[in-house]
Each structure stands twice: as C-alpha cells, then as structure tokens.
C-alpha cells in the first residue's frame, strides 16, 4: 500500500493569552446567562420570590456585560490580524474579461505544455487556435507545443518527462462525432496508468475545442471531467469552444453589436490569464489525497 499523502495532525501546545482566556470566560458566562435567566424568571414567578427576580436581572446584566467584552476582544483580534499580501497576478485587467501583459520575473515563469490533438496536426484548426493563444502566454511562461498527430506526433510514453516537468497543461482538439479526436483518445488511454499520480495531481488544465457548428460544448465539459479524474484542476473560465458558425455569424454582421455569449478569439486572453494565475499559485502535489488506483491491470481481460 502506498504511504498516505497527508501528514498526521500535530498537537497544538500554544499557550493562550490572558485576553483570549477572558474572551472565552465571557463566552461561557454569556451562554450561562442565556440558559439561567429564563430558568430564574420561571422559578421566581412560581414562587413569587423577589430575590429570584433580582437574581435574574443581575444575571442578565452580567451576561450582557460579558457579551460586550467578548465582542470587543473579537473585534480587537480582527483588527490586529495582519492582512495577507495579494497574490501576484501575471496579467492585470484594464477591461473586464480582457487581459493585458505585465512584466513577470523569469524565476517565476511557469512551464506550460500545449498538446495539439488535431487530426490535421500542425495545419489544423486546433493548431491555429494555439497560435492565437501563444502570444498571451509566451511573455509569461516557458511553452512547449507538442503534436499528437501528423509527421511530428509524439506518443504518451515519449511525453512523460515533459508532462512531469510542466506546471500546467493546455489541450486543443477538434469535434468529431460529438467527441474529441482519436489522437487525444489514444493519448488518454495510454495515460490511464498515470491517473492520480504526480504527473497530473493539482496541475491546472485549459481546454480549447473547435467545431463547425455544434457538439463542442459537450466535448469541452466531458474532457474537463476526464482531466479532473486524472488529477488536474480546472481554473475558472479556462475552457472555450471556437465555433465556425459563431465566428462567421459575427463577421457577417459588422454593424451589429457582437454577441457577448459567443466565444471568440478575444476570449483567449481570459483563458491565458486564469491558467497563468493558477499555474503560478498552485500548491505542491503533496497535500492532495488520492483514492486507490489499479495501475497494473488497466488492459486486463475480465470477460470470459
């Protein structure tokens, strides 16, 4: 059995301050007053005892005072708490939904592998989509473009070192009968034994799907689900579908306002922004937990 990926809990031996103890005591008094005051009132009404009425009023005043102390101490701790510095963002937005490049230190440049799963290889629509994405990533990251089809195609076993060294992954594929390309399907099948391993665990993944008219959104959603099961994380707004029908509809209506709900090439800036942010701030793979995975019998025959 593999060792667990989480560390055993460490016992807290921190000594509480006097103010903390006072705040805790005030909380207990406040809770006691909430319970004791109604009981004393009920008992005083049944026994017609003025001392019990006076005791209930005194306990209520004391509980309110204790609650004030607790609230004051909590406010003091909140105001004294240091505010964490904002996470450095590789791209800043001058306009909502659109990113503009900013300088990034070379030491913090993530390594991103771009997998072109187009059946047409470097001449297909997926390759062209990656060409449009590259200018938004190249100033801020080290890029490696890999073809899964065509004369320069590379199989999964040849890509394992590059994947292990990558901080993030981009996959571009066409839509073929409501699914991704056969080249990507072969890649995912060959990668099955690496499911849940450090090769994928916690790595952000972005997806670009191209389509003629329909089917691409289903491909995008299912592929995101597959990558999550492999162990990747999906940053917000990091997947889109570039549709020939939508692009032509916008191009043929130059005087009409562009349809905001239609993805276009301008939205690649958002994909790049969110992927870079996730790649630069992702935690180490160690804290993640992995369920048991059978890595030895992925191709065994079970039907007799």
Q: What integer is the mean pLDDT of 238-265? A: 78
Q: 269 burial class (0-12, 13-18, 19+ CB within 10 angstroms)?
A: buried
**In percent, how much of the chain has pLDDT > 70?**
72
CB-based contacts of 259, cutoff 8 Å, min separation 6 = 246, 249, 250
Q: What integer is the mean pLDDT of 200-228? A: 94
Rounded distance between C-alpha atoms, residue 227 and residue 206, angstroms: 10
pLDDT of residue 270: 95
Nearest Cα neighbor of 25 from 80, 59, 67 is 67
Which of the residue ranges 65-69, 181-185, 199-203, 213-217 would you say has the lowest mean pLDDT?
Answer: 65-69
Which of the residue ranges 65-74, 121-130, 286-295 would you say has the lowest mean pLDDT?
Answer: 65-74
Q: pLDDT tier at 285 (50, 70, 90 boundaries)? A: low
How many residues can be counted in the chain?
304
pLDDT of residue 19: 62
Question: What is the b/e burial string over 167-192, where b = at least 16 CB atoms within 10 angstroms of the residue's CB?
Answer: bbbbbbbbbbeebbbebbebbbeebe
196 pLDDT more than 70: yes
CB-based contacts of 5, cutoff 8 Å, min separation 6 = 286, 287, 288, 289, 290
Highest mean pLDDT among 63-77, 126-140, 238-252: 126-140
Q: What integer is the mean pLDDT of 169-183? A: 95
Rounded distance between C-alpha atoms, residue 209 and residue 225, angstroms: 14
124 pLDDT more than 70: yes
User: From edge to edge, which strands make up the β-sheet containing 111-116?
Assistant: 142-147, 111-116, 168-174, 205-211, 239-243
**In percent, how much of the chain has pLDDT > 90?**
43
Element (H, E) at 92: strand 91-95
226 pLDDT more than 50: yes
pLDDT mean across residues, the chain: 78
Structure tokens at 138: 């190249």
pLDDT of residue 188: 95
- Per residue in 262-272, pLDDT (tens digit) is 888 999 999 99
Q: Record the pTM.
A: 0.63
Q: pLDDT tier at 61 (50, 70, 90 boundaries)? A: confident
pLDDT of residue 239: 96
Select the more confidently predicted residue: 154 or 15.
154
Q: Residue 200, Cβ neighbours under 10 Å: how many?
A: 23
Nearest Cα neighbor of 213 from 241, 181, 173, 245 is 245
pLDDT of residue 255: 58
Select the more confidently predicted residue: 151 or 274.
274
Q: What integer is the mean pLDDT of 178-182? A: 94
Q: Residue 104, Cβ neighbours under 10 Å: how many?
A: 18
Structure tokens at 76: 């003091």
| Strands, E assignment, 175-219 | 205-211
């Amino acid at each position: 059995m593999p060792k667990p990926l989480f560390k055993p809990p460490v016992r807290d031996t921190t000594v509480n301050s006097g103010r903390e103890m006072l705040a805790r005591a005030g909380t207990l008094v406040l809770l006691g007053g909430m319970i004791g005051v109604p009981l004393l009132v009920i008992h005083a009404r049944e026994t017609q005892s003025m001392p019990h009425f006076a005791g209930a009023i005194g306990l209520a005043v004391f509980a309110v005072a204790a609650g004030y102390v607790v609230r004051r101490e909590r406010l003091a701790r909140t105001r004294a708490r240091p505010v964490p510095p904002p996470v450095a963002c590789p791209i800043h937005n001058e306009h909502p939904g659109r990113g503009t490049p900013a300088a990034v230190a070379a030491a913090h440049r993530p390594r991103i592998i771009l997998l072109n799963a187009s059946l047409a290889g470097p001449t297909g629509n997926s390759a062209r989509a990656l060409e449009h994405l590259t200018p938004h990533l190249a100033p801020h990251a080290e890029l490696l473009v890999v073809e899964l089809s065509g004369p320069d195609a590379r199989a999964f076993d040849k890509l394992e070192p590059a994947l292990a060294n990558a901080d993030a992954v981009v996959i571009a594929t066409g839509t073929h009968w409501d699914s991704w390309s056969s080249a990507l399907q072969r890649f995912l099948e060959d990668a099955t034994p690496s499911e849940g391993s450090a090769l994928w665990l916690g790595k952000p993944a972005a997806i670009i799907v191209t389509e003629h008219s329909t089917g691409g959104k289903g491909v995008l959603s299912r592929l995101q689900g597959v990558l999550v099961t492999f162990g990747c994380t999906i940053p917000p707004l990091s997947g889109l579908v570039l549709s020939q029908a939508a692009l032509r509809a916008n191009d043929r209506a130059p005087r009409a306002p562009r349809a905001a709900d239609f993805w276009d090439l301008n939205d690649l800036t958002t994909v790049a922004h969110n992927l870079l942010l996730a790649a630069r701030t992702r935690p180490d793979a160690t804290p993640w937990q992995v369920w048991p995975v059978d890595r030895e019998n992925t191709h065994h025959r079970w039907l007799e």
